[in-house]
Amino acid sequence: MSDTQLNTSAAVGLAQDSKSPKKKMVWLEMLRIFAVYLVIFNHTGDYGFHYWATLDGGYRYWLFMGCASLTVMNIPLFYMISGALLMGRDESLKTVWRKRVLRYALVILIFTFVQYLWISFRAEDGFRESFSLWEWFVTMLSENIIVPYWFLYEYLGFLVMLPLYRRMVQNMKEDEFHYLFLLYIIFTGALPIVEYLLTKWHTILNISFNIAYITGDLLVYPALGFYLIRKPKPTWKQLAVMWGLSLLCVVYTCLMTEYKLDYARQLSEARVGTFFKMLICIPAVTVFLTFRKLFDTSDGTGLTMHPGVEKLFLSIGSCVFGIYLVEQIFREAFYDFGMVLVDHLPNFPATLLYCVVVLLGAYLLVLVLKQIPGLKKLI
């Protein structure tokens, strides 16, 4: 696949950035497969993501809460992969819009329609009563046809800003990267936690002091990916320190979540997710570096895989964007199968297995869809 034929999925950190399959970075393929698996798990409700909330305390309550808090690194990982692959490029505004923005907008147009058809076919009052072309068009423009598609619109904004982000990131010095990452940790992690502890969300700082335009996920995580992939692989000692910091982040996240639930006395995904995302950057970086340490063989180190296993990872990795687009259909279609698993296995392991089946089912469909002329370049 030539550079001029790079498909839309490569722009989402969900496909590769090389001219030949032999040059694909297998560890990045594995990382994006892991990330899309977390996306699927994030939408498993009380059987997976919220399973901890169904328990009456005990170590399992805290263990599964900690596991759930880590799964929200999925989107940060996608953005870091995008930064690793796209931030170092030099493309004209015309190229960015033609190759990335407009193609990505076409993906939104096509797959919101597909999801709307699926919803209409499953409606209780029948397809004819439920389907409205105008309703689909308005919803596609102003809302999310399905919950996971919020990321499509956010990423479209990232692609629009990509030329400006590139100019900034490509010209940053080492200490400026450190400064950016420190600002992110302080203003999106530490400060909101302090504000909540002291005032229960009443802002401490003057609202006119706002640097969200520089500490947003759309800039920071791609910058992290760009920065980390150009650094030497970490040592095992450095990784041990990162995993220790990640564990502290998880512990603090769980304690703050429990504190908020005690105060608010109400459980909802919005309330639960408040603190899950605040310190996730450190675990996300740790996972990114761990995958690279273990599976990046470009420097002669790392684990060597059987060619057949490597080929499978490359194949699934090339389909990750398509898997993301259709996974909800398979989650709904395989729901009864998931309930069978829950009846025969412990709840949490059953949900993990269910997510694997959903991922593989979506992967097989995407392989078929890629045979359709024109669609292969989009997904």
Tell me how long the chain is: 379
Q: Is residue 374 part of a domain?
A: no
Q: Is residue 379 part of a domain?
A: no
Residue type present at position 91: E
Q: What confidence score (pLDDT) does residue 74 get? A: 96
Q: Is residue 259 part of a domain?
A: yes
User: What is the Cα–Cα distance from 374 to 265, expressed in whole angstroms?
Assistant: 51
- Distance (Å) of CA 288 to CA 35, 198, 253, 292, 296: 10, 34, 20, 6, 11
User: What is the Cα–Cα distance from 343 to 264, expressed in whole angstroms?
Assistant: 33
User: Among all chains, which residue has been given the structure tokens 């032999």?
Assistant: 22
Q: Is residue 286 part of a domain?
A: yes
What six digits make up the tokens of 192? 């909101």
Q: What confidence score (pLDDT) does residue 156 get? A: 96
Q: What is the 3-state secondary structure (H, E, C) of the chain?
A: CCHHHCCHHHHCCCCCCCCCHHHCCHHHHHHHHHHHHHHHHHCCHHHCCCHHHHCCCCHHHHHHHHHHHHHHHHHHHHHHHHHHHHCCCCCCHHHHHHHHHHHHHHHHHHHHHHHHHHHHHHCCCCHHHHCCHHHHHHHHHHCCCCHHHHHHHHHHHHHHHHHHHHHHHHCCCHHHHHHHHHHHHHHHHHHHHHHHHHHCCCCCCCCCCCCCCCCCHHHHHHHHHHHHHCCCCCCHHHHHHHHHHHHHHHHHHHHHHHHHHHHHCCCCHHHHHHHHCCCCHHHHHHHHHHHHHHHCCCCCCCCCCCHHHHHHHHHHHHCHHHHHHHHHHHHHHCHHHHHHHHHHCCHHHHHHHHHHHHHHHHHHHHHHHCCCCCCCCCC
Q: What confidence score (pLDDT) does residue 19 get? A: 40
Instruction: State which residues form the domain around 225.
Output: 3-369
User: What is the Cα–Cα distance from 289 to 151, expressed in whole angstroms?
Assistant: 24
Q: What confidence score (pLDDT) does residue 18 get? A: 38
Residues 291-315 have pLDDT tens digits of 999 999 988 898 999 999 999 999 9
- Distance (Å) of CA 296 to CA 96, 103, 230: 29, 30, 13
Cα–chain center distance at 227: 19
Q: What confidence score (pLDDT) does residue 20 get? A: 39
Q: Is residue 226 part of a domain?
A: yes
Cα–chain center distance at 154: 12
Residue type present at position 36: V
Per-residue pLDDT of the chain (379 residues; tens, 9 = 90+): 333 333 444 445 544 443 434 467 999 999 999 999 999 999 998 889 989 888 888 899 999 999 999 999 999 999 999 999 999 999 999 999 999 999 999 999 999 999 999 888 887 666 667 788 998 999 999 988 998 999 999 999 999 999 999 999 999 999 999 999 999 999 888 888 888 878 766 666 777 787 888 888 999 999 999 999 999 999 999 999 999 999 999 999 998 888 877 665 555 555 556 788 888 999 999 999 999 999 999 888 989 999 999 999 999 999 999 999 999 999 999 999 999 999 999 988 999 999 999 999 999 999 999 999 888 889 8
Q: What confidence score (pLDDT) does residue 268 get? A: 53
Q: Is the pTM of this model over 0.85?
A: yes
Q: Is residue 88 part of a domain?
A: yes
Q: Is residue 378 part of a domain?
A: no
Q: What confidence score (pLDDT) does residue 128 get? A: 64
Q: What is the count of structural domains for the chain?
A: 1
Helix axes 26-42, 307-318, angle to 10 degrees: 50
